[in-house]
Amino acid sequence: MTTEITPNKRFANSKWAERKRDFLIVSSFGLWATVLGLTPVLALNFLVGS
């Protein structure tokens, strides 16, 4: 009994797809770190009124 695996375009399995996924994960962490780090600074600056 043999089973043939057909490629699925929805779930790409390649080095390029893995690099793209890794880049998106790292950039999303960077974006959230920036947003969470800047929010208190901007809020304090707004409350002080400078």
Strands (E) across the chain are located at: none
pLDDT for position 50? 59
pLDDT digits (tens, 9 = 90+) for 35-47: 999 999 999 999 9
Q: How far, in Å, CA of 9 to CA of 31, rounded? A: 29
pLDDT digits (tens, 9 = 90+) for 1-41: 566 666 666 666 678 888 888 999 999 999 999 999 999 99
Q: What is the pTM of this model?
A: 0.54
Give domain limits for the chain. Answer: 26-50
Q: How far, in Å, CA of 20 to CA of 9, rounded? A: 15
Q: How far, in Å, CA of 5 to CA of 3, rounded? A: 6
